[in-house]
Structure 1
Amino acid sequence: MEWWKVNPRSVPFAATLLAAFFFLQPAASVARPASAVRAAVDDAVERYRLPGIAVGVVVDGQVQQVELRGETASGSGDAIARDTLFKIASNTKAMTAALLARQVDAGLLAWDDPVVKHLPGFRMHEDWVTREMQVRDLLVHNSGLGPGAGDLMLWPEPNAFTRDEVIAGLAHLKPRWSFRSRYAYDNTLYIVAGEVAAAAGGAPFDVLLRREVFEPLGLDSCRIGEWRVAEAGSVAAPHARRDGGWVARPDGEVVADMPMAAAGGVRCGLDDMLRWVQAWLDPETPGSDGAPWLSQTQREAAWTAHMPMPLSQRMRDWNRSHYYAYGHGWRLTDVDGTAKVSHTGTLSGMYSAVTLLPELGVGFVILINGNAGEARTVLEQALSRHFTAGASAGAGEQAPEAPRPSLVDHYAGLLAMERSMAAAEATTSDASAGTDPARRPATAGGMATWLGRYRDPWFGEVTVCAVDGGVRFASLKSPRLSGAVLLEGERLLVDFDTLGADADAWMEFSRGVEGGSARLVMAKVDPEADFSYDYEDLAFERVGDCS
């Protein structure tokens, strides 16, 4: 079966990718011991003290193994179950892409339709990009915007931005690169994709996703849109690290229909995610009408290399990878000479991973209800290599048990080594630059020139105002983006109240030309912080006094 195609628009990349295909030989079927997967999950839980995790494996179309550990909320006594709902976050993207693919199969739209054909009010910062952007472009991260552009309208949650405001904000986000020239991950254009689907399908996005994806595939527990927690059964709470332990942040009574639903708003249990995996591994998967749920043409389009992605040294070293690209909601690469189709999800204290190894007939799902990015990385890597390295054992042979130290410990050790080397480089750099002085509160008197209300065209209004002798920054529409203004040396920064240190932001004030209004720009204190803190795209102008 031909699983992969190359986007003809990426001619230089096509040659490289086609060369890589010569390494992809069909792998022999091997027996893979369940004990090795179980041991890897146990190792991850022990090493990272995870609050809860659900892992499932599909082999040759059947659910071969399920591993459940921990609680829905730390200390609650409620065990993680097969139907416990987790935020799958950006693994939603493949579902949004599948909804659009179903609409293409139905003749409701085409991948090369201009977006403005379906959303006449859609605007990007540059008019020519507005005219040229096609439906396909919404899914493959080639917009020219910086990574995570506009994400401050989506999180931290909860906030008061609407879907219409998020889409309108795109007109004010300046591109960093030319349209279609390079890969940079975004979420906001998937929100546009959801609205294109709604316009073409004549119903809201959440209604269409349930009708075209959940119901035909039997994803009965999955939730999208607004729903009541009490009616959903077991629901995992996201967790954040605090004082060496886990603190749960459970939902309220009602989960709202959030603006970023099409980019990362789905919640599912493990059993439903395994059915999702089975649907992609079996091209004959029927829909509710008995016909194939998705045509072969659209399956191939989903796993086509539409946009090349940077191939990291880690991928070369760990996986012997030759290529890396983005399809329709999926990341495409090779591991040990076999094709890998995957995605991850990260959102508000929850991590997910979906990995397919189509040539081996293998897929697996990882769902974690804690802020545990490294745990997901090492476990996903350990399970991938368990299957891809085991396939080289030969037909009919038994793959060996996972050696000790485990694969989880092995890859965790490699990450620790990377951090150590990075820290050594940073220490050398800091030694030459001098040590930063301790932080101290900014004073209202010292900042009198800059106090007031400020507005950004896409993010809206914030205040920088005196409170109890100090100064506070507060966003009107994103209440968790509020915190004390501090001084570090001569530089000002915001220490947000409820977010981690990686969310801290530098503040730089200036005066417009000829004594115009005061201006404020911001930037991440930690350059390696999550790109969703896209402070660099903000351009505030003072619009009034503090009230």
Structure 2
Amino acid sequence: MRTKRAGCMPIRNGSRAAGFLCGLVALASGFASAPSTASGPAPIDATAFDTAFDDAFERYRPPGLAVGIVVDGEVVFSRTRGELVAGGGEGIDGDTLFKIASNSKAMTTALLARLVDQGRLDWSDPVVKHLPDFRMHDDWVTREIQVRDLLIHNSGLGAGAGDLMLWPEPNLFTREDVIRGLRHLRPVYSFRSRYAYDNTLYIVAGEVAAAAGGAPYDVLVRRELFGPLGMDRCQVGEWRRDAVGNIAQPHMRGEGGEPVAIREDGEVVADVPMMAAGGIRCSLGDMLAWTRMWLQPGRFGLDAEGRPWLSARQREEMWKTHMPMPLSQRMRDWDDSHFSAYGYGWRLTDVDGTWKVSHTGTLSGMYSALTLLPQLDAGFVILVNGNADELRTVLTQVLVKRFTRPGDASLTVAHYAALLAAERESRPQDASRVAARTRRAATPAEVATFAGRYLDPWFGEVSICAEGEGVAFRSARSPKLSGAVMRSDTRLLVDWYDPDVDAEAWLAFESHTAGPDRLTMAKVDPDADFSYDYEDLAFERIGDCATP
């Protein structure tokens, strides 16, 4: 079975709904090829950019912040503030490396597009053509899944499925382990039926690129992307910290609200499995070069011989509406948005009648955002070396509005921060999360019936065993997922030892007379990051605890 590579998805129930969605899809696809009807960017007001930068920094106090803005091919604003490590005294500048997290995805898809231009693969190639040992849980999906499907979050897996093989890091999973684990992840939706964000299939996409390109993923990215585009500070694969230097470290908030560095780099920065999904690091200067290349390909998207770095056909393919996405109420209220979709590594929507192409990147302790307004020939980059979800949301919104509603001075950092605060206050508290606030350490006697070693087919072995007067949960392949087992009323949960792991998990045991006991897990906070995909785990008991 083959699907259209772009265009309208069939809807069986109701011609009006089908027509409406098809209209939005056509609108979204049309943005990519239609000439701009906008009058061009508003006059540059650097004072407004400075004000937004300062307001965001003062309100959220990140350890470090870097922001750059491109208009009409020129960098009209570039500013940094803060430190590589909070309290360390070394300041951030335009060459400082940040983890760009999921903004790596567009680089992976651009690499694949280069290989398509070179005739080494096609978007409609079955994945097994390039990776014969690749398997999904369903044999039919294994046969039918194409290269394009790896990029648009339509696999049928739940959001973040398999991410516990990637995060928290460091862990002991390899890239091969991640790809092998996919065959054990059960889908929760029909293949190609709906959008659900994933990272693991981008790792597969990186290996497809390696197979088609005849070199490891990191070698290809350096050769095909960083080199031709002059992104000289970007790093991928394994590299040495001190040889590169000027590297921002991730931070979280301490108990007093102060930024505390976490997971600081050692001398050798490893080639981690998630490289193609979210493992690239770049500087503000690199990301501004990347921004200019997308906005003005005829000027900044040429190789050393003056040829297009990507063909016009592949550029259009990257920004087509490949998968409709949910349109949130916030997008409707804040931006008067009418559609939302995913391209190849890019999110697509409209803001105040203007096309927006963007993506964010989120890792524990590192946040990024890249936003393009192609019709206005404007784009901007935000890089933060701290947990900064609200800062990124608010600052992105203020900068977008400087271009889409330049005359409205009320759309400030304070304005959007107040809207987010109102959202939080109106959100009902989850009963499960409230219940977990009352807890005590579980005793070995309380867990004796289910204590032992358990195995999940993709995550591996864990143990739930007595340690002193308490009980500990420990993962063999993800050492940071170790914590104290606590009792909350009649339920058990894990309070992780490492403060970097910020999503606690409920434990549920089932006793089976005809087979091994089973263990399942679930997020205490249902709104926690979906990469804590505890719900995808299905453990079976394999033995007793080791003798102390």
Question: Under TM normalisation by the shorter chain, which class is it?
Answer: over 0.9
How far does the alpha carbon of each residue in 1:367-386 deviate from its partner, in whole angstroms, 9 at most, with x for none?
A: 00001111001001110111
Determine whether 1:72 maps to 2:84: yes
Q: 1:275 to 1:320 in 2, by over 3 A?
A: same
Please give the secondary structure, in 1, of the residue aligned with 2:76.
strand
Q: Structure 1, residues 314-344: CA drift from partner, whole Å, max 9, x if none?
A: 0000001010000000000010101000000
Aligned equivalent of 2:265, options 214, 232, 251: 251
- CA offsets per residue over residues 12-35 of structure 1, 9 Å max, x none? 433233357899962223202011
Match of 1:415 in 2: 420
- Specify which of 376, 391, 399 is matched with residue 360 of structure 1: 376
Is residue 2:116 matched to residue 1:104? yes
* Structure 1 match to 2:39: 28
2:435·2:488 contact (CA, 8 Å) conserved in 1? no
Residues in 2 aligned to 1:544 and 1:39: alpha-carbon distance in whole angstroms: 61
Matched, 1:281 2:295: yes
Contact conserved, 2:250 with 2:365, CA < 8 A, in 1?
A: yes
Is the CA contact 1:502–1:526 (under 8 Å) kept in the aligned structure 2? Answer: no
The letter for the 1-side match of 2:52 is A
Identity %: 62
Post-superposition Cα deviations, 1:480-511, rounded to whole Å, max 9, x if no partner, equal 00000000000000001114674100000111
Query: 1:90 is matched with which residue: 99, 102, 112?
Result: 102
Distance 1:43 1:108, change over 3 A: same
**Alpha-carbon distance in structure 1 between the residues aligned to 2:423 and 2:500:** 22
Gaps of 5+ in 2: 11-17
User: Does structure 2 retain, via aligned residues, the 8 Å contact 1:502–1:530?
Assistant: no
1: CA distance, partners of 2:329 / 2:137: 34
Flag the 1:436–1:232 CA change in 2: closer, same or farther, 3 A.
closer
1:18 to 19, 26, 29: 26
Structure-1 residue corresponding to 2:13 = none
User: Given that residues 236 and 280 in structure 2 are in contact (C-alpha distance below 8 angstroms), is that contact kept between their aligned partners in structure 1?
Assistant: yes
Which residue pairs with 1:60 in the alignment?
A: 72
* 17-26 or 248-257: bigger deviation: 17-26
Query: Pairwise CA RMSD of aligned residues?
Result: 1.9
Instruction: Specify the SS of the correspondent of 1:445.
Output: helix
Number of equivalent positions? 526
Distance 1:480 1:378 in 2: 31
Distance 1:77 1:387 in 2: 35
**1:99 counterpart SS class:** helix
Segments of 5+ residues of structure 1 without an aligned counterpart are 391-398
> How do 1:32-47 and structure 2 match up within 5 A?
32-47=44-59
Match of 1:394 in 2: none
Residue matched to 1:527: 526
Aligned residues of 2:367 and 2:389 also touching (Cα < 8 A): yes
Q: 2-side partners of 1:435 and 1:143: how far apart?
A: 35
| Residues 152 and 533, structure 1, Cα contact 8 Å, conserved in 2 | yes
2:151·2:201 contact (CA, 8 Å) conserved in 1? yes
Letter paired with 2:39? A
- Residue 436 of structure 1: CA displacement? 6.3
| Contact kept? 1:353, 1:367, Cα under 8 Å | yes
Check 1:437–1:418 CA distance in 2 against 1; reply closer, same or farther (3 A cut): closer
Hey, what's the Cα distance between the residues in 2 that align with 1:280 and 1:237?
28
SS state of the match for residue 208, structure 2? Answer: helix
**Counterparts of 1:415 and 1:27, CA distance in 2:** 30
Is the CA contact 1:217–1:288 (under 8 Å) kept in the aligned structure 2? Answer: no
Match of 1:543 in 2: 542
2:474 corresponds to: 474
Do the aligned partners of residues 527 and 287 (structure 1) sit closer, same or farther apart at CA in structure 2, a change above 3 Å counting?
A: same
Change (3 A) 1:434 1:387: closer
CA deviation digits over 1:46-95, x for unaligned, max 9? 00011100000000011111011111110111111100000000000000
**Cα distance in structure 2, aligned partners of 1:355 and 1:384:** 8
How far the C-alpha of 1:9 sits from its partner, in A, is 5.3
Tell me, yes or no, if the aligned pair for 2:8 and 2:26 is still in contact at 8 Å: no
In structure 2, the CA distance between the partners of 1:455 and 1:21, relative to structure 1 (3 Å rule), is closer
Distance 1:254 1:20, change over 3 A: closer
Seen in structure 2, the aligned counterparts of structure 1 residues 437 and 229 have a Cα distance that, compared at 3 Å, is: closer
SS in 1 for 2:445: coil
Alignment equivalent of 1:261, drawn from 269, 275, 282: 275
- Detail structure 1 runs of 4+ shifted over 6 Å in the superposition: 20-25, 433-437
Structure 2 distance, partners of 1:319, 1:420, is: 22
d(CA) in 2 for partners of 1:265 and 1:253? 17
Shift of 1:434: 9.5
Alpha-carbon spacing, 1:495–1:27, altered in 2? closer, same or farther (3 Å): same
Structure 2 residue 461 is matched with structure 1 residue 461: yes
User: Are 1:20 and 1:322, in contact at CA under 8 Å, matched by a contact in 2?
Assistant: no
How many Å separate the matches in 2 of 1:379 and 1:485? 39
Measure, in 2, the Cα distance between the counterparts of 1:35 and 1:468: 60
Q: Normalising by the residue count of structure 2, what TM-score does the alignment of the two structures yield? A: 0.93
Q: Residues 168 and 501 of structure 2 are in contact (CA less than 8 Å); yes or no, is this contact kept in structure 1?
A: no
Q: CA deviation at 1:6?
A: 8.3
Q: Does 1:138 align with 2:142?
A: no
- Give 2:385's aligned residue: 369
Q: Distance in 2 between matches of 1:434 and 1:466?
A: 27
1:227 aligned partner: 239
Cα deviations by residue, 1:195-240 (Å, 9 ceiling, x for unpaired): 0000001110000011111101000000000011101121001000
SS for the counterpart of 1:199 is helix
Partner of 1:395: none
- Distance in 2 (CA, whole Å) between partners of 1:213 and 1:118 is 21
SS at the partner of 2:120? coil
Mapped to 2, the partners of 1:409 and 1:512 lie a distance apart of 56
* Structure 2 counterpart SS, 1:503: coil
The range that moved more, 23-32 or 521-530, is: 23-32
Task: Tell me, yes or no, if the aligned pair for 2:69 and 2:76 is still in contact at 8 Å.
Answer: yes
In 1: Cα distance, 2:369 partner to 2:117 partner: 28
Q: Is 2:347–2:359's contact at 8 Å kept on the other side of the alignment?
A: yes
After TM superposition, the structure 1 = structure 2 runs for residues 486-497 of structure 1, keeping only pairs within 5 Å, are 486-497=486-497
| 3-state SS of 2:447 partner | coil
Distance 1:44 1:269, change over 3 A: same
Structure 1 range deviating more: 309-318 or 16-25: 16-25
Give the 3-state SS of the residue equivalent to 2:272 in structure 1: coil
Q: Tell whether the 8 Å contact from 1:163 to 1:191 is kept in structure 2 after alignment.
A: yes
For 1:128, give the aligned amino acid: W
Alignment-derived partner of residue 6 in structure 2: 7
Quickly say closer, same or farther: Cα 1:316–1:518, change in 2 above 3 A.
same
What is the alpha-carbon distance in structure 2 between the residues aligned to residue 77 and residue 26 of structure 1? 48
2:140 paired residue among 128, 132, 143: 128
Measured after TM superposition, the shift of residue 468 of structure 1 is 0.6
